A and B are shown apart, each in its own frame.
Chain A
Amino acid sequence: MNAHPSRRTLLLGAVAATALSACATSGADDDDTSAKGDATAENPFGAPADAPLEVVVFKGGYGDQYAIEAGTVYKQKFPKATVDHKGIQRVGEVLQPRFISDDPPDVVDNSGAGRLDLVTLVSSGKLTDLTELLDAPSLDDPAKKVRDTLMPGVVEEGTYDGKVLVLNYSSVLWGIWYSKSLFAKHSWAYPTSWAEMLALCEQVKKAGIAPWTWQGKFPEYMNDPLISLAAKAGGHDLVKSVDNLEPGIWKSPAMLAAADAVHQLAARGYIMPGSEALSHTEAQNAWSKGQAAFIPCGSWLEGEQQQVTPAGFDMVLGTVPALTGADKLPNGAVMAASSESFLVPAKAGNARGGLEYLRILFSQKVARGFAQNSKALPVVAGATDGLTLSSGLASTAETAKAAGANLFGYRFRTWYPALAKALDDATGELLTKRTTPDKWAERVQKAADAVAADSSVTKQKR
Chain B
Amino acid sequence: MSIMTDVSPSAARRRSVPRFVWVIAAIVALYLVAGVITPSFATFDNMLVIVRAASITGIVAIGMSYVTISGNLFALSAAALGAFLAVIFALAVGHLGFAAGLAATLLVAILAGMAQGLSISVVGNPIITTLAFSTVFRGLAALFSGNSIVRIDSDIALALGTGRPLGVPTQSWAFIALALVSWALIRRARLGRLLVLSGANPQTAIASGLNVRLATVVAFVALSVGVAIMAVFTVSQFSQAKADLFAGYDFDYIAAVLVGGIALRGGQGSPLQAALGAILIALLQNFMLLNGFTAGLRMTVVGGLVLLATGAFHLLQRRLR
Our verdict on whether A and B bind, yes or no, reads no
